[in-house]
Amino acid sequence: MKSLILRTAAPPIVSLMVLFSIFVLLRGHNEPGGGFIGGLIAVAALSIYGIAFGVETVRRAIVFHPLAIAGAGLLLSTLSGFLSAIFHVPFMTGLWITPVVLGVEIPLSTVMSFDIGVYLVVVGAVTSIALSLEEREDS
């Protein structure tokens, strides 16, 4: 779309939306949010970017093919479940570590890595659909 306003406004909007999607992803453990809705927000950001600058620019910006991102997310989620095997607990049991970095406790868990996997699956799969739809419109 050849709109100067959109092209000027898109970069800050897109970066804010991606940031917000990550916030929603991390917030999702105890409050409304999570990987699925966070992923959808990120897809919305990428779609705006695509509308403003074209599909090719988005494909270059995300480096990997969207479906490869979805695959990586699925793999991450599956591996998060397999980690429990080492600790002799059933599949998908939530495991936590809280390393202290510079005096701040950072809780990390397999629940979180699972949710990041979901985020990546949603980003990859829905971006793939959105980009091919936009591509159809361009041509």
Partner 1 sequence: MAVSASSPVLSEALVLAPVTALDWLVIAPVAWCIGIGAVLMMVRHRGMLQPLIAIAALTVLVCLDAMLLWHVSQGGPVTMVMGRWLPPFGIAFTVDLTGALFALAAAVVALAGAVAAMADIDASGRRYGFYPFLMLLMAGASGAFLTGDIFNLYVWFEVLLISSFGLLVLGSRSAQIDGAVKYGFLNLVATTLFLVATGYLYGIFGTLNMADIARKAPGLRDTAPLMTLTALYLLAFSMKAAAFPVNFWLPASYHTPRIVVSALFAGLLTKVGIYALIRVSILLFPVEREILGPVLALVAILTMLTGGLGALAQTDSRRLLGYLVISGIGSMLAGIAIGGPDAIAGTLFYALHSMLVMTALYLAIGLAARLGAGFSLAVPSGLYRDHAALAFLTLALFFSVSGLPPFSGFWPKVMLVKAALDAGAVWLAGALLLTGFLTMIATGRLFLLSYWRPRDERTAGAGQAGLPVSGLPVRRLPITIVAPLVVLTALSLLIGLFPETLLALARQAALALTTPTAYLDSVFAPGSLQ
Backbone angles phi, psi at 98, to 5 degrees: -130, 80
Q: Does 108 bind partner 1 (CB under 8 A)?
A: no
Minimum CB separation of residue 135 from partner 1 in Å reads: 16
Please give the residues from 75 up to 94 whose contact with partner 1 meets the rule CB under 8 A: 75, 78-79, 81-82, 84-85, 87-94
Q: Does 13 bind partner 1 (CB under 8 A)?
A: no
CA angle (128 as vertex; 70, 108 as ends), nearest 5: 30
- The smaller minimum CB distance to partner 1, of residues 8 and 78, is found at 78
Q: Among 12, 17, 34, which Cα is nearest to 25's?
A: 34
Minimum CB separation of residue 93 from partner 1 in Å reads: 4
User: For residue 65, what are the contacts with CB-CB under 8 A and spacing of at least 6?
Assistant: 59, 128
Give the whole-angstrom CA distance, residue 18 versus residue 20: 5
Q: Does 72 bind partner 1 (CB under 8 A)?
A: yes
Residues of this chain that bind partner 1 (CB under 8 A): 65, 67-68, 70-75, 78-79, 81-82, 84-85, 87-97
